[in-house]
């Protein structure tokens, strides 16, 4: 009898096989952008503005040019001669590559020096003399909207104020009616602070323009190499076939490596002008002060409530602080991304949302830091608001959620903002989480501790977020639709290479995407290599962010595998000398219907594709698939945190943290758990310590790792993970996105826990991060604590 | 890291180092653990002509006790040596409590106690510990040696009283009289962070009476602050909630905190008070003399 393959053993769906990437990463054998050394390569450093807002009176580069070893000092004026002093942004605004008229944030790029080595290039930067005429700095939307505020974007024709967009969505009238009928209206206002994805590897590029072939090769730290190639072709007006973008190993992205940055553009221009490879590697301060930040949103909203706990409607407004240029890296047709996914997991009939963006003298580039386009802010506000409403009603926060969550038989569920939730078992997830934490016991423990002067608290966060951009109807980047692709080549020996348009930055694509092929074809995962990141060698794709790789490129991988299987079936029929209709499939093998022992393996078919194909059948066994997802995927999560707050110092410690994630079918459970733990760590970071603020002069507080705090293993709490599985009904293998859930849903659980620990103070909100001094102030003065910049200083 | 150009010297003996220091004068800078200096040259906050790396000088990595209890710390004694020191755990609870709270394990492997004192960062932890313990340093030059109390070594933020041509070769803690106890408490935002507030407490007592009290504060002034009035309030008294409260209040009054992104001045002052009273109440005894 032919033995059936054990899918787990060969590394298929559900196998926690070890990450194939880790071997090279752990042994220092990875190849990051900075590891490449090309013959004749020069080094570029960027001179950045020390001030936040100033008119540039002069840029004198004379002394820099005189330093031996300096090859080029590129200024905005020079870039302008090539039409590259400015570049378009992903949000249809413009951004300065090198400042010509004004500097608009501290850290803005002013000039570049290209030299034999980076030391000389830095010396060159120091030798440039810039004369500034200082202007008042604006560091929050309120200042930006003041009637006497200086105009930040005086470069834009017709721009008379500091507003960069206005946006509304939902049913305004229906919502007003529902509010009029409410028994109670609950209100909350908060600031989601500016944060930075801060990958350990900073951004960088090596532009290599070959004047003989006129081909431009760029090694760069990008999460989306294909879209960069198209962007370079359009912006720099170079022919697209003569551009090759190589994104080698990436040391973390988290959204930071989606946009196009001035450094990339300048290195390309310098390479073209000099005819030599030019390497630019950003330093940590450059990364933290100039590249895509995240969040920085002021949200105020309300819930219309019935006394029995039913939510009738929601309305909320967001003011976003977009920095000096509106360069939010988001591909949806909605100005504020998917912010209106807030409250999606609750069955609320009416909703209305407005938003306004403002220019400020802060770094541009609102990126989706481990989330899909403003979802983090949406879910945070949602869960803080839900807790506030339960509190206002005097209802148990778990029961309030249970009452309003979308029910299992309600899917697909249309939200008042138009999203279609695909599937879920929300109440079950909540129950698993409550059970795991021992909810009732903890409530008793809390009361008992309170009577002895100790402050314990419990916080819950339940949410479903839309992951996996696109579909092509609502999502595009510079007009290119949000599909993704996979190409699969099976070699004669049955080994295979899978090429995808997505690009891993630590998510483990090289491991999991092979597992999808294994699931579809029965080729053992170790026999499949995954290639990605090189535009000359992989099919077009929109890159990796927004937890979209499995929903899109993963789906394409399943689909291309099925195409291969269809062709292999023809080959199997030929080998088995039966007609195709009489061939049955089981994992890794075709056999003759009714004669299970008479079969051929997928490897036999692969060999036949090159050595023994039937007449009329094209040789070879390879194909590709482009996948346009019909909908986003909607994972669900229930997170519960317990804390103890020290009222004398405001310091709080996490006692326990329970995470229940339903992300559909798990391809590699170990990698999924790693993603959840990583996301949870970032959630804890945002709740506890990690933010970038500014002083009144626009100086960035958080420009290095002494001030921009990332939690270490020491303070990161342990996480207890649980799972529930509801397959996505529209994804070929039932998977949903997961990489971001914990970072998106986690912060509210921590904050709600601290709020619960001080629930006798009447305090409604403390802005993140919940630094000890803020918590102490809230407890001591029984007042809300705002974290909005400017930071107070003596 | 791309600092400005400098010349690098790696002397193999103290006398060679002192000669080089004399030769290059004010153009020279000493490198010990490099955990404060390297970040500054990396950010190009400082530059100099010559770097004199003292790490190759043998015999400076010691820490030891005399029979009377005087403690000696060589210029290359690292934070991690002190963190794992049996001697400190036995004899010097304030130092034993402070060592693991300095920076993170990687920084502790390189950074030195003496370098930290020379660096005179108002957020440095060792200077408070040394102020509380009446510590001093030995400065050597081609001309000879002199003793500088830590209270006189630190003259301002990032400014020390060393003269041109001098190397701090040793830090010292005088022998205690009576029973030793103490603690170091630090509010940090995460491991590896400098202190938002740090409090060093070092007591000597006979019976229940405090014979000497050292209290010093980190991060709440332009330099580490010795809370003299709070110390005085304890000497000659026994510790009880009244004397502890009073000392804590006086220490809070001695603090000169500033409002910044780590918290308001009021908050920091409150934490000083809380920490002084907690440190006095929960201080650790020396295990043996
Ligand atoms: C990430 C990080 C976190 C940190 N956190 C803390 C913390 O929490 N608490 C804390 O107290 N410190 C902290 N530090 C600083 C650390 O403790 C340093 O080790 C210490 O301040 C300086 O000691 P060093 O031996 O490294 O001196 P170096 O960096 O080598 O030198 C510092 C200065 O002192 C001078 N100097 C050094 N040795 C001598 C000598 N023997 N004679 C004369 N001059 C000398 C140098 O010329 C230089 O000006 C941190 C550092 C880092 C990088």
Q: Do B187 and A651 touch (CB under 8 A)?
A: yes
Atom of ligand 1 nearest to the CA of B121: 21
Q: What is the length of chain B? A: 289
Q: Do A773 and B267 touch (CB under 8 A)?
A: yes
CA-nearest residue, atom 47 of ligand 1: B30
Beta-carbon pairs below 8 A across chains A and B: 72
> Is the predicted pLDDT of residue A295 greater than 70, yes or no?
yes
- In chain A, the percentage of residues whose pLDDT exceeds 90 is 92
Domain extent listing, chain A: 22-30+484-627, 33-135+202-250+257-290, 294-469+631-781
Contact A472, A482 (CB under 8 A): yes
Return the exposure string of B19-50: e unless at least 16 CB atoms fall within 10 Å of the residue's CB, then b. ebbeebeeebbbbbbbbbbeebbbeeeeebeb
Kindly indicate the confidence band of residue A393, based on its pLDDT and cuts at 50, 70 and 90: very high
Q: Do B259 and A714 touch (CB under 8 A)?
A: no
Nearest CA in chain B to A285: B43
Task: For residue A649, list chain B residues with Cβ-Cβ distance below 8 A.
Answer: 187, 271, 274
CA-nearest residue, atom 11 of ligand 1: B124
- Which pLDDT score, from 0 to 100, does residue A2 have? 64
C-alpha B193 to ligand 1 mean position (Å): 14
Q: Measured between CA atoms, how close is B199 to chain A, in angstroms?
A: 14
Is the Cβ of B267 closer than 8 Å to some Cβ of chain A?
yes
Atom of ligand 1 nearest to the CA of B101: 8
Instruction: Classify domain B63-173 by CATH architecture.
Output: 2-Layer Sandwich (3.30)
Q: Measured between CA atoms, how close is A714 to chain B, in angstroms?
A: 7
Tokens of A117: 């080595």
- Which pLDDT score, from 0 to 100, does residue A476 have? 86
Q: Give the count of alpha carbons within 13 A of A375, CB side only.
A: 31
Is the Cβ of B177 closer than 8 Å to some Cβ of chain A?
no
Say whether pTM exceeds 0.95.
yes
> Is the predicted pLDDT of residue A3 greater than 90, yes or no?
no
Q: Do A649 and B274 touch (CB under 8 A)?
A: yes
Q: Which residues of A are identified as catalytic?
A: 223, 370-371, 740
Contact A791, B260 (CB under 8 A): yes
- Helix, strand, or coil here: B32? coil
Across A377-395, average pLDDT: 98
C-alpha A71 to ligand 1 mean position (Å): 37
Kindly indicate the confidence band of residue A235, based on its pLDDT and cuts at 50, 70 and 90: confident
Q: Do B261 and A791 touch (CB under 8 A)?
A: yes
Across A71-100, average pLDDT: 96
Atom of ligand 1 nearest to the CA of B30: 47
C-alpha B225 to ligand 1 mean position (Å): 19
Is the Cβ of B67 closer than 8 Å to some Cβ of chain A?
no
> Is the predicted pLDDT of residue A1 greater than 60, yes or no?
no
* Tokens 């795991």 -> residue: A436
Nearest to A644 by CA among A756, A720, A719: A756
Kindly indicate the confidence band of residue A468, based on its pLDDT and cuts at 50, 70 and 90: confident
Nearest CA in chain A to B268: A773
Same fold, A22-30+484-627 and A33-135+202-250+257-290: no
ipTM: 0.96
Q: Do A715 and B187 touch (CB under 8 A)?
A: no
Q: What is the DSSP string of B89-115?
A: HHH-HHHHHHGGGSS-HHHHHH-BHHH
Q: Measured between CA atoms, how close is A715 to chain B, in angstroms?
A: 7
- Regions in chain B scoring below 50 on pLDDT: 289
Q: Which CATH code, of 3.40.640.10, 3.40.50.40, 3.30.43.10, 2.60.120.10, is assigned to B7-53?
A: 3.30.43.10
- Which pLDDT score, from 0 to 100, does residue B121 have? 96
Q: What is the DSSP string of A672-740?
A: HHHHHHHHHHHHHHHHHT---EE-TT--EE-SSTTTS----TTTSPP-EEEE-----SSSTT-B---TT
> Is the predicted pLDDT of residue A695 greater than 80, yes or no?
yes
Instruction: State pLDDT tens for residues A544-601.
Output: 888 889 999 999 999 999 999 999 999 999 999 999 999 999 999 999 999 999 999 9
Report the topology of domain B179-283: Enolase-like; domain 1 (3.30.390)
- Which pLDDT score, from 0 to 100, does residue A479 have? 84
User: In CATH, what number does A33-135+202-250+257-290 get?
Assistant: 3.90.1170.50
Q: What is the DSSP string of B185-225?
A: EEE-SSTTPPPSEEEEEEEEEETTEEEEEEEEEESSSSS-E
Strands (E), A503-564: 528-532
Is the Cβ of B19 closer than 8 Å to some Cβ of chain A?
no
Is ligand 1 within 6 A of the CB of residue B219? Answer: no
Which of B44, B104, B263 best probes binding to A when mutated, by most A CB atoms within 10 angstroms?
Answer: B263
Instruction: Classify domain A294-469+631-781 by CATH architecture.
Output: 2-Layer Sandwich (3.30)
Strands (E), chain B: 7-9, 28-31, 50-53, 63-65, 71-74, 136-141, 144-149, 154-156, 159-160, 167-173, 179-187, 197-206, 209-218, 225-226, 284-285
d(CA A570, CA A605): 9
Task: For residue A45, list chain B residues with Cβ-Cβ distance below 8 A.
Answer: 2
- Which pLDDT score, from 0 to 100, does residue B286 have? 87
Quick one: how far is CA A480 from the chain centroid?
A: 19
Interface residues of A toward B, Cβ cutoff 8 Å, are 45, 118-119, 121-123, 126, 285, 648-651, 689, 693, 701, 704, 706-707, 709, 711-712, 714-715, 771-773, 776-777, 791-794
- Which pLDDT score, from 0 to 100, does residue A440 have? 98
Q: Do B267 and A651 touch (CB under 8 A)?
A: no
Domain extent listing, chain B: 7-53, 63-173, 179-283
Q: Which CATH code, of 3.30.365.10, 3.40.640.10, 3.30.413.10, 3.40.630.10, is assigned to A22-30+484-627?
A: 3.30.365.10
C-alpha B114 to ligand 1 mean position (Å): 8
Pocket test for ligand 1, best of B78, B111, B141 (most atoms within 8 A of CB): B111
- Helix, strand, or coil here: A40? coil
């Amino acid at each position: 009898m032919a033995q059936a393959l054990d899918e787990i053993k060969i590394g298929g769906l559900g196998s926690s096989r070890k990450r194939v990437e880790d071997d090279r990463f752990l042994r220092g054998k990875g190849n990051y952008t900075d590891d490449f050394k090309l013959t004749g390569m020069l080094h570029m450093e960027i001179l950045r503005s020390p001030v936040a807002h100033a008119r540039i009176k002069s840029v004198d580069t004379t002394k820099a040019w005189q330093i031996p070893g300096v090859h080029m000092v590129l200024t905005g004026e020079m870039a302008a001669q090539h039409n590259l002093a400015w570049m378009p942004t992903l949000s249809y605004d413009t951004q300065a590559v090198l400042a010509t008229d004004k500097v608009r944030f501290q850290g803005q790029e002013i000039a570049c020096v290209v030299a034999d080595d980076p030391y000389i290039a830095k010396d060159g930067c120091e030798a440039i003399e810039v004369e500034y005429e200082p202007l008042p700095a604006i560091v929050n939307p309120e200042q930006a909207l003041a009637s006497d505020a200086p105009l930040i974007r005086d470069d834009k024709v017709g721009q008379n104020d500091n507003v960069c967009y206005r946006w509304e969505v939902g049913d305004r009238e229906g919502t007003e009616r529902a509010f009029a009928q409410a028994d109670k209206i609950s209100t909350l206002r908060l600031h989601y602070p500016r944060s930075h994805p801060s990958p350990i590897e900073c951004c960088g590029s090596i532009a290599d323009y070959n004047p003989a072939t006129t081909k431009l090769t760029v090694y760069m730290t990008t999460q989306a190499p294909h879209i960069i190639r198209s962007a370079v072709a359009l912006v720099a007006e170079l022919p697209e076939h003569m551009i090759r973008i190589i994104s080698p190993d990436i040391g973390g992205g988290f959204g930071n490596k989606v946009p196009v940055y001035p450094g990339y553009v300048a290195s390309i221009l310098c390479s073209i002008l000099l005819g030599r490879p030019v390497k630019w590697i950003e330093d940590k301060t450059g990364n933290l002060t100039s590249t895509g930040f995240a969040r920085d949103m002021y949200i105020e909203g309300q819930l219309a409530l019935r006394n029995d706990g039913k939510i009738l409607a929601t309305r909320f407004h967001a003011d976003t602080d977009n920095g000096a240029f509106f360069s939010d890296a988001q591909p949806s047709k909605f100005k504020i991304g998917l912010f209106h996914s807030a409250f999606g997991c609750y069955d609320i009939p009416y909703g209305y949302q407005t938003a306004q963006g403002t220019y400020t003298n802060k770094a541009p580039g609102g990126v989706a830091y481990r989330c899909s386009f403003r979802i983090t802010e949406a879910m945070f506000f949602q869960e803080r608001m839900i807790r506030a409403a339960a509190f206002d009603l005097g209802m148990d926060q778990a029961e309030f959620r249970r009452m309003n969550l979308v029910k299992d038989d309600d899917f697909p569920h249309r939200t008042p903002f138009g999203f279609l939730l695909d599937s879920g078992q929300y109440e079950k997830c909540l129950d698993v989480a409550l059970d795991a934490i021992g909810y009732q016991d903890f409530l008793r423990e809390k009361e008992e501790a309170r009577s002895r002067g100790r402050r314990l608290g419990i916080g819950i966060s339940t949410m479903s977020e839309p992951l996996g951009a696109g579909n092509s109807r609502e999502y595009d980047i510079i007009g290119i639709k949000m599909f993704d692709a996979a190409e699969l080549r099976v070699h004669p020996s049955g080994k295979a290479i899978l090429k995808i348009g997505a690009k891993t930055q630590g998510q483990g694509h090289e491991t999991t995407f092979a597992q999808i092929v294994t699931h579809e074809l029965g080729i053992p995962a170790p026999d499949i290599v995954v290639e990605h990141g090189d535009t000359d060698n992989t099919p077009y794709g929109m890159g990796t962010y927004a937890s979209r790789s499995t929903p899109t490129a993963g789906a394409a991988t399943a689909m291309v595998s099925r195409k291969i299987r269809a062709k292999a079936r023809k080959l199997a029929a030929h080998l088995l000398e039966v007609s195709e209709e009489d061939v049955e499939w089981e994992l890794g093998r075709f056999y003759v219907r009714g004669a299970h022992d008479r079969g051929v393996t997928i490897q036999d078919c692969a060999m036949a594709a090159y050595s023994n194909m039937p007449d009329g059948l094209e040789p070879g066994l390879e194909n590709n698939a482009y996948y346009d997802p019909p909908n986003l995927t909607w994972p669900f999560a229930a997170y519960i945190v317990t804390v103890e707050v020290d009222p004398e110092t405001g310091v709080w410690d996490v006692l326990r943290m329970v995470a229940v994630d339903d992300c559909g079918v798990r391809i590699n459970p170990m990698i999924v758990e790693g993603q959840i733990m990583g996301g949870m760590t970032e959630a804890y970071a945002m709740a506890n310590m990690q933010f970038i603020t500014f002083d009144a002069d626009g100086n960035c507080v958080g420009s290095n790792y002494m001030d921009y705090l990332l939690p270490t293993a020491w303070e990161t709490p342990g996480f207890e993970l649980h799972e529930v599985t509801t397959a996505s009904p529209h994804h070929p293998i039932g998977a949903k996105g997961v990489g971001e859930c914990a970072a998106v849903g986690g912060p509210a659980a921590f904050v709600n826990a601290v709020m619960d620990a001080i629930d006798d103070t009447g305090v409604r909100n403390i802005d993140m991060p919940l630094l000890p001094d803020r918590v102490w102030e809230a407890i001591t003065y029984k007042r809300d604590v705002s974290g909005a910049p400017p930071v107070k200083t003596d | 890291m791309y600092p400005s150009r400098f010349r690098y010297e790696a002397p193999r003996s103290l006398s060679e180092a002192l000669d080089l220091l004399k030769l290059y004068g004010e153009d020279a800078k000493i490198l010990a653990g490099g955990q404060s200096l390297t970040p500054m040259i990396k950010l190009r906050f400082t530059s100099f002509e010559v770097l004199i790396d003292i790490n190759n000088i043998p015999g400076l990595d010691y820490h030891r006790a005399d029979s009377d209890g005087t403690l000696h710390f060589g210029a290359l004694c690292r934070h991690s040596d002190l963190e794992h020191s049996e001697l400190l755990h036995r004899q010097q609870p304030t130092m034993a409590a402070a060592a693991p709270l300095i920076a993170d394990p990687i920084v502790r492997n390189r950074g030195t106690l003496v370098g930290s004192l020379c660096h005179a960062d108002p957020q440095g932890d060792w200077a408070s510990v040394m102020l509380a313990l009446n510590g001093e340093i030995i400065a050597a030059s081609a001309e000879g040696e002199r003793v500088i109390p830590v209270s006189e070594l630190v003259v301002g933020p990032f400014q020390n009283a060393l003269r041109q041509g001098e190397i701090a070769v040793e830090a010292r803690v005088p022998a205690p009289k009576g029973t030793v106890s103490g603690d170091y408490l630090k509010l940090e935002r995460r491991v590896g962070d400098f202190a938002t507030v740090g409090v060093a407490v070092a007591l000597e007592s006979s019976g229940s009476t405090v014979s000497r009290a050292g209290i010093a504060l980190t991060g709440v002034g332009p330099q580490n602050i010795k809370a003299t009035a709070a110390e005085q309030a304890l000497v000659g008294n026994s510790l009880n909630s009244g004397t502890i409260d009073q000392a804590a209040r006086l220490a809070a009054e001695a603090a000169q905190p500033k409002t910044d992104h780590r918290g308001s001045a009021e908050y920091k002052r409150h934490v000083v008070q809380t920490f002084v009273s907690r440190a006095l109440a929960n201080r650790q005894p020396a295990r043996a003399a």
